[in-house]
Amino acid sequence: MPLRDHESDPTAEPTDGEPPPLWIPLHPPSAGQDIPAPPNQDPDSVALRAPGPGDVGGKGASLCRLAAAGLPVPPGGVLTTAFFAPWVRRIRDSKAWGAFVDSVRSHPSSAPAWTAACERLEARCTDLALSPAQADAVEGLLSDALYTDGGPPADLRLAVRSSSSDEDQDVSSFAGGYRSLLGVPVEDLEAAIRSCFASCFNVRVAAYRLERGLDPLQLGGFAVVLQRQIDSLAAGVAFSLDPVTNDHDEAVIDAGRGLGESVVAGLASPDQFVVDKVARRILSRRAGGGGTSIWLADGGGTLERPEPPASTPVLDTPQVLELTDLLCRIENLYGRPVDIEWAVADDGLHILQARPITTYVPLPPEMMTPPGQRRRLYADIALSGGLTINAPISPLGLDWMRVSIHYLLEAVVGPTEPAPRLEDRLWFFTGGRMYQNLSNMLRFASPRMMAKGAAESDALMAETLGAIDPERYRSPRRPPWLRWGLLLKVPRALGSIAGPTAGFLKAVLAPQRTSRELHDRAAAFEAEIAATDPHRPPGELARDLGERLQPKILSISMPALAAGLTAMKLIGKIVGRSERRKELAEQLTLGVEGNLVAEMGMVLHELATLAGPEACADPEALARRIDGRRMPRAFLDSWDAFRERFGCRGPHEMDLASPRYGDDPALAAHQIAALSQAGDARDDPRATHAGLVARRRRAFRTLEGELPWYRRPVLRRLHTLVEHFAGWRDTPKHHNLMLHQVLRSGALETGRRWVEAGRLDRADDVFGLNLADLAEAADDPGLDLRRRRRERVAFLRRLELQVHNFPGVIDSRGRILRPPPRAEAPGELRGTPVSPGRVAGPVKVLSRPDEKPIEPGDILVAYTTDPGWTPLFVHAGAVVLEVGGVLQHGAVVAREFGKPCVVGIDRITARLEDGETVEVDGAAGVLRRPQATETVGDRPEAGPARP
């Protein structure tokens, strides 16, 4: 039944003289009936509307919506947020609430520290009692929705479910947080309602609010759903997309005997069905392994029974398909993937709960193809290839990537325009990411060729690409740009690369002189960037940077980079097959000088030494002292040099929206403070690097003495190239980031002007707009920039909340492709070796560089890293990454800091836990787990825990 159009602040007193309803029924009146007003309201006072989460909580709103759509929802009603408003006020007026507020403010980012205060709040709820109005509301709900012939049926049992206004929303589910009670007799109902309300203050709920960016002190509205308890023969959960593969065209059903609580709580190993929703065909069945089932008890509540493995499936094929059809109806009703709880009883199938799935990887609509149509395949090239961004990229940052690549391409092949249709492009920028269209790539490259091209930057992606089915994913038609006319651009392209190619040959023939010349040109180029005026419209500035400056990076850095990388590859080929010589050749690729990212880590460590442990004890105070120039002169001199050289760098640095060391001293202060921790001599990165340099030169002399005379000149030349040019690996990116910083400064200046004009709230909100928006806003003072920004960042906000790790390869129905499973011995995880050495230590899994400190000797485990993670490598005993290859940032820095490093282990951040001890063998590419007994890669036995 619809509610009236009133504001639903659960603690607010009514302002219009009309009390809000204390309960509503779940089911609307049958067809042809008049729609009565909700209880306690005048039908002519205000317009009627459907109940929302602010009225009946997320679960209640969902059940009302399902019932109104004619889906088989058990009868019942909802005690509304207005029902619980007096209890909320009493709790907020209590001393226990004050203690909780103090606890949150004292430890704003540490939910475990709130545990004692939360327990006191839950205990305080035991004193609450129903007022006469609340008691009448409960009786009214039971009489209207559940009683027959004026009284309760003799066997009536109730399902009492919590329903918060924040629960079961698009970006927050609170699964397993709030309390629900099953099989409740009518005489125990008041205690059950009170118990559900007390779960508002459970520390799990507070911690989840913190995790999802919600204010732990803002309770939101709370309601309770009362329904007839279904005495189910079978029950469970179902997902309208496959939670393992992320495939939108597959449903997954977990089914157990008895009540569904045994499935959602993980007490039983359920039967599992994977269904093709388009073809209505069961793709796979997996029999359950028994466990414990839960049933209704005769006297109220539930009881548990041991459940042996069944000889027959819990559901037959018609039941599976009927449930899939209902699941698809609910998905269409919500307009996005959902998961549901369901039950089968003697009277048929019932839907107990439905909510949007909040943990899948969404794609923007323009990347999706319709169900059943041929799929396109995409590679996320923002994960590797030098970008290494595992986060949504801001609209302005993504637009700058698009513009800069466009100008770079024009510098090589001449004027070009992207294909008008996304499906025809080779790469594109949307949904906060940069993608490559592999379906079009497959028109002229085999999976093996693509895998070979990806191997050095992303070993795991290379394995995935090598195993794809080209017949399934190859574009059925040739993209419009792949024509014979493309050959006309070849002469221009050859002419464009002639200069860098000549520079490479010159570097090989005259390395010392070329090195001096390139360093001089790089210094002049950096001065030219520094002299660029950022006080211009961002679009004009971006065009100037892209057309005038960016192409120069090719002629300056690429010859040196190509010479260094070529030399490092060839060294291993000329030493022969001797294992000893191969080890010596490996040492010739370590201890290279001039790598800017490695140098940045060394300087940060030196700043920590200059600051001293006492100054580093409080990072925020250290930042204030640096900003106020209240540090020793030696520190300030080093700090000024660091900012001038590395001010354009920082965590997530490839996105224009990310602050840099030059913007905010606090970024570096936190890393400096972390580096001040006590460690041994091996934790001095400059000393470690100097040792590697000396080791490389000794290895060269040894090899020179052992190789045949005719190979020695080649070895000498290759080693000379390594000495002069291998350190240029990060220089092109550094120069690009200097351009980034100029554009960032100009954008922030524009943002500040619009803040002063009242068009934006903060200067950095400008990064939520793209270049076209900025140009339009300059021409149209009336353009609503706040609204435009909200539209631009809405999808990115979903990504921030839902996606922890962006998949490397995904298709246009959302299916995430993974590499074939590797053969692994028990207790071993195999990846790709990128930095030698063997170290054992405790695991520390991080999703971002500022998440937690790395103690000396910790094994740093991450999905991927960028240069902002470099200081963490200093104390780490070893580094393990999912995304990476021999040329990825993490591998290069690990090698220069002498840390063992293994990359390319699928789902490594989910397979390891903080504190477990592992051994990392960087030479073999193996991680050993002495205590491990897991089997990796199986489909989860049950869906996520549900309340």
User: pLDDT tens digits for 322-347?
Assistant: 999 999 999 999 999 999 999 999 99
- pLDDT over threshold 80, residue 16: no
- pLDDT over threshold 90, residue 861: yes
Using DSSP, state whether 104 is helix, strand or coil: helix
C-alpha span between 625 and 615 (Å, rounded): 9
> Which helix (H) or strand (E) element contains residue 674?
helix 665-675
- pLDDT over threshold 50, residue 644: yes
pTM confidence score: 0.87
Residue 338 φ/ψ, nearest 5 degrees: -135, 160
> Which helix (H) or strand (E) element contains residue 542?
helix 538-544
C-alpha span between 393 and 370 (Å, rounded): 26
- pLDDT over threshold 90, residue 289: no
pLDDT given at position 177: 62
pLDDT given at position 4: 30
Average pLDDT score over residue span 827-831? 93
- pLDDT over threshold 50, residue 434: yes
Instruction: Give the residue from 894, 780, 889 showing the smallest Cα distance to 835.
Output: 894
Beta bridge partners of 258: 294
pLDDT given at position 932: 56
Among 161-175, 323-337, 430-444, the minimum mean pLDDT is found in 161-175
**Rounded to the nearest 10 degrees, how much is the dihedral formed by the CA atoms of 642, 647, 653, 654?**
-120
Sign of CA dihedral 801, 805, 807, 808: positive
Q: Does residue 855 contact residue 837 with C-beta atoms inside 8 Å?
A: no
Q: State which amino acid sits at residue 301.
A: G
**Rounded to the nearest 10 degrees, how much is the dihedral formed by the CA atoms of 622, 628, 633, 637?**
90
pLDDT given at position 153: 80
More confident: 188 or 108: 188
Read off the pLDDT band of 934 (50, 70, 90).
very low
Q: How far is CA 572 from CA 579, 708, 797, in A?
A: 11, 15, 47
Tracing tokens 């924040």 back to the chain, one arrives at 166
pLDDT per residue as tens digits for the range 773-802? 999 999 999 999 999 999 999 999 999 989
- pLDDT over threshold 70, residue 171: no
C-alpha span between 437 and 444 (Å, rounded): 12
pLDDT given at position 167: 58
Residues 6+ apart with CB under 8 A from 616: 608, 622, 672, 673, 676
What does the buried/exposed string (b/e) look like for 438-466 if buried means 16 or more CB atoms within 10 Å of the residue's CB?
bbbbbbebebeebbeebbbbbbbbbbbbb
Sign of CA dihedral 27, 31, 33, 37: positive
pLDDT given at position 104: 81
pLDDT per residue as tens digits for the range 726-780? 999 899 999 999 999 999 999 999 999 999 999 999 999 999 999 999 999 999 9
- pLDDT over threshold 70, residue 46: no
C-alpha span between 728 and 792 (Å, rounded): 37
| Token couple for 328 | 């698809």
| Token couple for 321 | 């398909």
- pLDDT over threshold 60, residue 29: no
Q: State which amino acid sits at residue 458.
A: D
Using DSSP, state whether 742 is helix, strand or coil: helix
- pLDDT over threshold 90, residue 516: yes
Sign of CA dihedral 881, 842, 601, 848: positive
Q: List the alpha helices (DSSP H) in 316-394.
A: 317-334
Instruction: Give the residue from 945, 947, 943 showing the smallest Cα distance to 239.
Output: 943
Among 576-590, 677-691, 701-715, the minimum mean pLDDT is found in 677-691
Strand stretches in 618-717, DSSP E: none
Average pLDDT score over residue span 348-366? 93
Residues 6+ apart with CB under 8 A from 729: 561, 564, 565, 592, 595, 887, 892
pLDDT given at position 268: 86
Using DSSP, state whether 377 is helix, strand or coil: strand
Using DSSP, state whether 710 is helix, strand or coil: coil
- pLDDT over threshold 50, residue 463: yes
pLDDT given at position 884: 87
C-alpha span between 93 and 749 (Å, rounded): 46
pLDDT given at position 290: 79
- pLDDT over threshold 70, residue 33: no
pLDDT per residue as tens digits for the range 549-594? 988 888 899 899 999 999 998 998 898 888 889 889 989 988 999 9
- pLDDT over threshold 50, residue 640: yes
pLDDT per residue as tens digits for the range 63-113? 999 999 999 999 999 999 999 999 999 988 989 888 888 888 888 777 788
